[in-house]
A and B are shown apart, each in its own frame.
Chain A
Amino acid sequence: MKFITIDKKNWTKGIDKSRGTYRLFGPVKDKNWCMIKELDGDILPDMEYNESVMSAKSVLFPQSETILNTSLNESVEDHHIMKRAKNDYTARAVLGIRPYDAKAIQLVKMNFDTKEYKDPYWCDAYEATTFVGMAITKPGPFDFSTSVDSGPFCEEGLDILLADLDDSFIAKILTPKGESFAAACGFDSTIDDKESQALFDILRKEAEKNINCRVETDKLKEKNLLDLHGASFWDDLAFSCINCGTCTYVCPTCWCFDIQDEAKLKESSRFRNWDTCMSPLFTRHATGHNPRGVKVQRVRQRFMHKLKYFLDKYDQGIMCVGCGRCVKSCPVNIDIREVCHTMNTYEKKD
C-alpha cells in the first residue's frame, strides 16, 4: 500500500496514456443522468458525478452477453458445435467506481467464482479489471452504506481509492493491479503514507457525517427464518409493488440471468440476459406450475434473499451495500431501509 498524488492537470494525459494498455470504463453524463460506460475514443470520465443510475456491475456482467456461438450451416465444418464467444478480456479499468459498487462486486463474486463451478465469463472479466474507486465526499440522500459494512471510503474490492482534493487527487494504491494501472498512467508522485492516511481519515469522517440515514441490521441474524417468512407485513409491502424489476436491475448485488438462443440466418448465438426474480416468468415451469406465482412471494423472496437468507448462509453481512438506487428508482416508493427496519424489529405475535 502506498499513496501518490495526481495533479488534475495531468489526469487526462495520464489516463489517455493508459488507453494503450487498458480499455477504460467510467461515469459518463447521458442526457439527465450518469451511466457507467466504456470510454471509447477520447471520452473522459466524469469524476465529479454524484451517482450513476446503474452500477458498474455491467462492466463484468453485461446486461446481454453472448456466451456461445455456432454456425447452423450444415456445409460448414463443426456446424452446430457451440464454441465460446470471442469476447474481449484484455485489461480494463473502471475509473471512478463508487466504493459501495466495488464492494458489491465482491458479493457477486461469491456467486460466480465458486469451488464447484467458476463462471468463465465473469471470472475472466474480473481478472482483467482494475477497480479505480472514487471516494464519496458528498453522499446522496439515499446512501446508507455505512449501515452495511461499506461506506464512502470503503476499500473492499478496490485496487486504487482516489480522494478529490479540488486541484488534485490523492490515490491510495491498494493492490499490485492498482500499482500497474498507476504506472501505465505515469502517476508516480509518492507522498507520505502517514500524512495521507490521516487526511483520508479526516475526509472519511466528514463524508460519513453527511450520511443521515442509519439502518439497523443487528437482529436479523437471530430472527427465525420461518417466523419472518410467515409475517403479515409482506402483504402490505407487496400491495403497491408492480413487479417491474427496476430494483433488481439497478441493484449492484443482483446477479440473476436467463440463457436464451437466437438464430439469425445460419448463425446462432447463446447469450445470457439479466433476469429478475420480480417477474412471474422467473420461476414458472414449462408445465405452467409456478412455485412463486403470487406477487407477495416474489417481493418477499427479494428482501428475504438480500436481508436474511444470504446473511444466514454466509454470515458476512447482508446482500446490500447501501447505495440506495432501489429506493430512488422504485416507482411505488418501496424502501429497502424501511423493510430492513421492519424485519430487524419483527416480533412474532402468538
Chain B
Amino acid sequence: MNNPYLPDAYKILDIKKETQIDYTFKIAYEGALVGGQFMEISIPGVGEAPISICNYDDSSLEMTIRKVGNLTDQIFNLEKGDTLYMRGPYGNGFNLDHYRGKDVVFIAGGTGLAPIRKTIDHFVNNPDEVKNLEVLIGFKSPKDRLFIDDIDRWSEKNCVTVTVDQGDDSWTGKTGLITTHIDKLDLTNISEKIAVVVGPPIMMKFMLFELIKKGFKEKNIWVSFERKMSCGIGKCGHCKIDETYVCLEGPVFNYTTAKALID
C-alpha cells in the first residue's frame, strides 16, 4: 500500500532573505503543482509542518517560510545545497479557470501573499487572460514586505496597490489598513468583479465584510484558509471545520462555502 506519510529528500537550490524572519527557499522539484497548494516539509528528528508553495517551474518550487518555531528555526539553519524533506503537494490550490476572462482583484495581507503569488504572477504575465486585473497588498510595515522584486515588476503594469499599516521614515508609499484601500479599486462593475482574498484571519474577516458591503457577490469571492494541519491528507482532524477537511477540500474555497465553515 502506498504510504502517504513518507517524505522524500530534495535539494535546496537557493535561499533568499525576504525579511528578518521570512526566507524563501528554492527547492529542486519536478512534478505537477497548482498555486495555492502546500507541502508538508520536515527535518527528521525535528518535526513536520505545512508550508504553501509560492512559486514553481518545471524543475523547482519555492516556499516562503517564517521563523516561528522549533522546525522553522532548524530550517533557517540550512544552507544552499542542503537537503529538505517533503511530501505533497496537498490541497486544491487556485483554479485559474475561475478567474479567466473576468475582472479580478487579488487581495493579500502579509504572508497571505505567498500562496497567491504564483497566481498573481501568472495573470500579470498573461494579461489577455483576464478582462481586468488589480492587486491589493497590505503589510504591517515596510520591513515586513515580501517579494519586493516581484511587486516592483507587477507595478510596471500599473495594477498593484501596496499599503503598510504603519510606515517609517523611508516609506513614501501608501499607508493604512488594507480595508481602507478598497475604494481605490475599480468598482464600476462590482456585481461581476471577482475578489480573491488571502491573509491573516483578522484581515480576512474585515476584508470579506467590507467586500460584501461594497456590493461584491458572495459567489464571486474566493478565499484561502489558513489552518493548523498535521497530516495534510484528511486523517488527523486538526484542520477540520465541521465535516470539511481544509487540507483536502481546500484551502481555497468559494465564499458561499467558506461562510458556513465556522468554528
The number of residues on chain B lying at the interface, defined by a beta carbon within 8 Å of a beta carbon of chain A, is: 44
Q: Quick check: is B148 within 8 A (CB to CB) of the other chain?
A: no
Q: Using a CB-CB cutoff of 8 Å, which residues 86-121 of chain A contact chain B?
A: 111-112, 114, 116-120
Q: Quick check: is A199 within 8 A (CB to CB) of the other chain?
A: no
Contact with A along B186-223 (1 / 0, CB 8 A): 00000000000000111000000000000000000000
B6 and A68 within 8 A (CB):
yes
How far, in whole Å, are A83 and B85 apart by their CA atoms in the complex? Answer: 12
A258 and B230 within 8 A (CB):
yes
Return B245 CB to nearest CB of chain A, in Å.
9
How far, in whole Å, are A259 and B242 apart by their CA atoms in the complex? Answer: 21
Q: Using a CB-CB cutoff of 8 Å, which residues 211-242 of chain B contact chain A?
A: 226-228, 230-231, 233-238, 240-242
Return A112 CB to nearest CB of chain B, in Å.
6
A297 and B235 within 8 A (CB):
no
Q: Quick check: is A282 within 8 A (CB to CB) of the other chain?
A: yes
* Known contacts A70-B44, A114-B234; is-contact A291 B3 (Cβ 8 Å): no
A-side contacts of B179, CB under 8 Å: none
Contact with A along B1-26 (1 / 0, CB 8 A): 11111110100000000000000000
A-contacting 9-mer, from B46-54, B55-63, B124-132: B46-54
| A226 and chain B: residue at smallest CB distance | B260
Q: Quick check: is A301 within 8 A (CB to CB) of the other chain?
A: yes
B237 and A275 within 8 A (CB):
yes
How far, in whole Å, are A260 and B46 apart by their CA atoms in the complex? Answer: 8
A-side contacts of B4, CB under 8 Å: 117, 119-120
A72 and B237 within 8 A (CB):
no
A-side contacts of B226, CB under 8 Å: 285, 289
* Known contacts A82-B44, A116-B248; is-contact A225 B237 (Cβ 8 Å): no
B243 and A309 within 8 A (CB):
yes
A117 and B235 within 8 A (CB):
yes
Return A317 CB to nearest CB of chain B, in Å.
14
A-side contacts of B163, CB under 8 Å: none
B236 and A261 within 8 A (CB):
no
Return A223 CB to nearest CB of chain B, in Å.
13
Q: Quick check: is B69 within 8 A (CB to CB) of the other chain?
A: yes
| B6 and chain A: residue at smallest CB distance | A82
B227 touches which one: A117, A283, A310 (CB < 8 A)?
Answer: A283
Return A90 CB to nearest CB of chain B, in Å.
16
B237 touches which one: A124, A277, A287 (CB < 8 A)?
Answer: A277
B-side contacts of A261, CB under 8 Å: 42-48
A-side contacts of B49, CB under 8 Å: 286
B-side contacts of A114, CB under 8 Å: 234
How far, in whole Å, are A305 and B48 apart by their CA atoms in the complex? Answer: 27
A259 and B1 within 8 A (CB):
no
A84 and B6 within 8 A (CB):
yes
B85 and A80 within 8 A (CB):
yes
| A319 and chain B: residue at smallest CB distance | B243
How far, in whole Å, are A261 and B249 apart by their CA atoms in the complex? Answer: 27
B-side contacts of A2, CB under 8 Å: none
A72 and B45 within 8 A (CB):
yes
* Known contacts A258-B236, A270-B44; is-contact A80 B9 (Cβ 8 Å): yes
B234 touches which one: A67, A81, A116, A292 (CB < 8 A)?
Answer: A116
Q: Quick check: is A328 within 8 A (CB to CB) of the other chain?
A: no
Q: Using a CB-CB cutoff of 8 Å, which residues 99-158 of chain B contact chain A?
A: none
B233 and A305 within 8 A (CB):
no
Q: Quick check: is A49 within 8 A (CB to CB) of the other chain?
A: no
How far, in whole Å, are A116 and B240 apart by their CA atoms in the complex? Answer: 16
Return A263 CB to nearest CB of chain B, in Å.
3
* Known contacts A116-B233, A116-B248; is-contact A292 B6 (Cβ 8 Å): no
Return A104 CB to nearest CB of chain B, in Å.
15
How far, in whole Å, are A284 and B68 apart by their CA atoms in the complex? Answer: 13
Contact with B along A114-133 (1 / 0, CB 8 A): 10111110011000000000
How far, in whole Å, are A225 and B244 apart by their CA atoms in the complex? Answer: 14
A256 and B85 within 8 A (CB):
no
How far, in whole Å, are A259 and B1 apart by their CA atoms in the complex? Answer: 20
* Known contacts A225-B242, A263-B45, A304-B242; is-contact A120 B1 (Cβ 8 Å): yes
Question: Closest 3 CB pairs between A and B?
Answer: A256-B237, A263-B45, A268-B45
Interchain residue pairs with CB less than 8 A apart (16): A81-B9, A116-B233, A119-B235, A120-B1, A124-B1, A256-B237, A256-B238, A257-B237, A258-B230, A261-B43, A270-B42, A270-B44, A277-B237, A283-B227, A283-B228, A283-B263
